Amino acid sequence: MGILALEDIQPGMILASDLRTSQGRLLLPRQAAIEAKHLRMARIWGISEADIEGVIDQPDKNVLDSADPALRDLFQEILAWRFANHDGKVQPMRRLMDLFVHRLNALAAAGMEQDLLRERFIGPFLSISLEQETSAPLSGRVLSCEEMLLREPSLACHPDIFHEIVEASGNPKISAAHLAEIIGKDPSLASRLLRLVNSAFYSFENKVDTLARAAAIVGTVQIANLAVGVSVISHFKGIPSGLVDMRAFWEHSIAVGVISRLLGVHRRIPIRERLFIAGLLHDLGRLVIYKNHLQQARALMTLALSSSEPMHELERASWGFTHAELGSLLLRKWRIPQVIQNSVACHHASFRSEATDEAKLVHLADVIAHALGFGHSGLRRVPPLCLKTWDHIGLPVSVLSTVAAQTDNQLRDLMRVFAVS
Amino acid sequence: MMGSKNKHPAVVLSRLEHLEDLRLKMLDALESAAKSGGFRQSPGSFQGPIAVLQDTARRVMDLAPFQAAALWLVDETTSDFQLGWCDPADRRDFMEREFEQLTREGIIALAVNGERPVMAAGSAPQFRHMVQVLATPARVRGLLLAHLQGSYGLPDGTLPLVNILCQSAAALLEGLELYQLLRVKNQALQEEVEVRRAVQVRQELLSQAFYSSLEGMLVIDATGRILEANPAVQTLVKRPPETLIGRHVRTILSRTGTRRQFRTIMREIALHGRFKGEIRGRDKEHGDFFVWLSVNAIQDQTHRVGHYVAVLHSIAGRQELETALMQAEFKYRDIFERSPVAIFRSTLDGRFLDVNQAYAEILGYASPEEIISSVSNISAQLYVDPRDREAYTRTLLEKGSVKDYEVRVRRKNGTYILASMNTRVIKDAEGRPASLDGFIRDITAARMAEEEKERMQTQLHQAQKLQSVGRLAGGVAHDFNNMLGVIIGQAQLALMKISAEDPLKHRLQEIEKAAQRSADLVSQLLAFARKQTVVPRFLNLNEAITGMLKMLERLVGENIELRWQPEDGLWPVKIDPSQVDQLLINLVVNAQDAISGAGVLTIQTANTALNKPMRFKQEDLPAGEYVLLTVSDTGCGMDMETQEQIFEPFFTTKDVGQGTGLGLATVFGIVKQNHGVVTVSSKPGQGTEFSIYLPRLFVRDPEIAPAFAESTMQGGTAKVLIVEDEPALLDFARETLEELGYSVLTAQSPWEAVRLVQSLSEHLDLLITDVVMPEMNGRDLAARLQALEPGLKCLFMSGYTKNVIARHGVLDEGLNFLHKPFTMRELAQKVAQVLKDTAQS
Ligand SMILES: [Fe+2]
Ligand SMILES: [Fe+2]
Decide if pLDDT at A259 tops 90: yes
Inspect the interface and report whether the beta carbons of B153 and A408 lie closer than 8 Å.
no
CB atoms within 10 A of CB B198: 9
B307: in domain: yes
**Residues whose beta carbons lie less than 5 angstroms from ion ligand 1:** A 283
Interface check A202 vs B, CB under 8 A: yes
Determine, yes or no, domain membership for B5. Answer: no
Note which residues in 139-198 of chain B have CB less than 8 A from chain A.
Answer: 139-140, 150-156, 159
A208 interfacial to chain B (CB closer than 8 Å): no
Q: Which residues contact A303 (CB under 8 A, 6 or more apart)?
A: A314, A318
Chain Cα centroid distance, residue B166:
23
CA distance A406 to chain B (A): 5
Q: Is residue B3 part of a domain?
A: no
Q: Are residues B537 and B582 in the same domain?
A: yes
Contacts with A416 from chain B: Cβ below 8 Å: 121, 125, 152
What pLDDT, on a 0 to 100 scale, did the predictor assign at position B234? 78
* Residue B250: per-residue pLDDT: 79
Asked whether residue B228 falls in the same domain as residue B354, the answer is no
| Mean local confidence (pLDDT), B246-259 | 77
Instruction: Give me the pLDDT at residue B704, please.
Output: 37
Least confident of B70-79, B164-173, B690-699: B164-173
How many CB pairs below 8 A link A and B? 114
Is the model's pLDDT at B650 over the cut of 60? no
DSSP-derived secondary structure for B229-265: E-HHHHHHH-S-HHHHTTSBGGGGB-STTHHHHHHHH
CA-based R_g, chain A, Å: 23
Cβ–Cβ gap A413/B79 under 8 Å: no
Q: In CATH, what number is assigned to the domain containing residue B617?
A: 3.30.565.10
- pLDDT at res. B684: 83
Residue B245: predicted pLDDT: 82
Tens digit of pLDDT for each residue in A264-304? 888 887 666 678 888 888 998 888 888 778 778 888 888 88
List the one residue out of A355, A359, A297 whose CA is nearest residue A323.
Answer: A297
Give me the pLDDT at residue B95, please.
Answer: 94
Residues B481 and B540 in one domain: yes
* B118: closest chain A residue by CA: A410
- For position B467, what pLDDT does the model report? 55
The pLDDT of residue A231 is 75
Please give the mean pLDDT across all residues of chain B.
Answer: 76
Give the separation between CA A103 and CA A408, rounded to whole angstroms: 11
Q: Which of A27, A47, A202 is facing B152, going by the closest CB pair?
A: A202
Record: contact A41-B79, CB cut-off 8 A: yes
pLDDT at residue A417, rounded to an integer: 64
CA of A344 to the centre of ligand 1 (A): 8
One domain for residues B275 and B394? no
pLDDT (average), residues A172-196:
70
Q: Per-residue pLDDT averaged across B811-818, rounded?
A: 68
For the CA atoms of B64, B70, B74, B78, the dihedral, rounded to the nearest 10 degrees, stands at -160
Residue B377 has pLDDT above 50, yes or no: yes
Ligand nearest to the CA of A369: 2
Q: Are residues B527 and B509 in the same domain?
A: yes
Give the pLDDT confidence score for residue B40 in this predicted structure.
38
**Do B735 and B831 fall within a single domain?**
yes
Last residue of a domain, one of B631, B663, B695: B695
The reported pLDDT for the residue numbered B636 is 83
Residues B307 and B338 occupy one common structural domain: no
Asked if the structure places residue B2 within a domain, the reply is no
Residues B588 and B628 in one domain: yes
Domain boundary among B679, B695, B711: B695
Peptide bond into B88 cis (omega under 30): yes
Give the CATH number, domain containing residue B751: 3.40.50.2300
Shortest Cα–Cα distance, A212 to chain B (Å):
10
For the beta sheet containing B216-221, the strands, ordered from the edge strand earlier in sequence to the opposite edge, are B226-229, B216-221, B305-314, B287-299, B274-283
Q: Specify the range with the lowest mean pLDDT, choosing from B331-345, B392-406, B466-480, B685-699.
A: B466-480
C-alpha pair distances (Å), B378 with each of B340, B389, B425 = 22, 8, 16
Distance A251 CA to ligand 2 centre (A): 11
Q: Is the Cβ of B479 closer than 8 Å to some Cβ of chain A?
A: yes
Tell me the C-alpha to C-alpha distance, in Å, between residue B826 and each of B714, B734, B767, B829. Answer: 11, 14, 16, 5
List the single residue in A177, A403, A410 with the smallest CB-CB distance to B483: A177
Whether residues A46 and B152 touch (CB distance < 8 A) is answered with no
Q: Please report residues of B whose CB lies closer than 8 A to that of A396.
A: none
* Rounded distance between C-alpha atoms, residue B365 and residue B385, angstroms: 20
Q: How far is the CA of A124 from the centre of ligand 2 (A)?
A: 16
Domain assignment present for residue B750? The answer is yes
What crossing angle do the helices spanning B319-338 and B158-212 adopt, rounded to 10°?
A: 140
Instruction: From B181, B205, B239, give the residue that closes a domain.
Output: B181
Per-residue pLDDT averaged across B492-511, rounded?
78
Partner A contacted by B112 (CB < 8 A): yes
Q: Does B482 touch chain A (CB under 8 A)?
A: yes
- Domain of residue B416, residue span: 331-442
What percentage of chain B reaches a pLDDT higher than 90?
7
Residue-level pLDDT at B706: 35
Lowest mean pLDDT among A338-342, A389-393, B186-190, B567-571: B186-190
Q: Could you tell me the pLDDT band of residue B464, with boundaries at 50, 70 and 90? A: low
What is the number of domains present in chain B? 5
- State pLDDT tens for residues A101-127: 888 888 888 887 777 787 778 765 554
Of the candidate ranges A354-358, B323-327, B498-502, B589-593, the one whose mean pLDDT is the lowest = B323-327
CATH class as words, domain A2-52: alpha beta
Would you say residue B576 has pLDDT above 50?
yes
Answer yes or no: do B373 and B268 share one domain: no
Touching check for A402 and chain B: CB below 8 Å? yes
Q: Taking the CB of residue A266, how many other CB atoms lie within 10 A of it?
A: 21
- For chain A, report the end-to-end CA distance as a whole number of angstroms: 46
d(CA A10, ligand 2 centre) in Å: 36
Amino acid at B464: Q
Nearest alpha carbon to residue B316 among B292, B350, B287:
B292
Residues in chain B within 8 Å Cβ distance of A332 = none
CB B474 within 8 A of CB B527: no
**Statement to judge: residues B682 and B804 lie in one domain:** no
Q: Cβ(A73)–Cβ(A45) under 8 Å?
A: no
pLDDT at B627 (0 to 100): 92
Confidence check: pLDDT of A256 > 90: yes
Query: Which ipTM was obtained for this model?
Result: 0.79
Centre a 10 Å sphere on the Cβ of residue B629 and count the other Cβ atoms it contains.
26
- Asked if A217's CB is within 8 angstroms of B155's CB, the reply is yes
**Cα–Cα distance for residue pair A165/A274, rounded to 1 Å:** 11
Contact list, B483 vs chain A (CB under 8 Å): 175, 177
Domain residue spans of chain A: 2-52, 69-121, 159-234
pLDDT at B94: 93
Give B808 or B402, the one with higher predicted confidence: B402
Average pLDDT, stretch B500-505? 79
Query: The domain spanning residue B343 has which CATH number?
Result: 3.30.450.20
Chain A nearest-CA distance from B146, in A, is 15
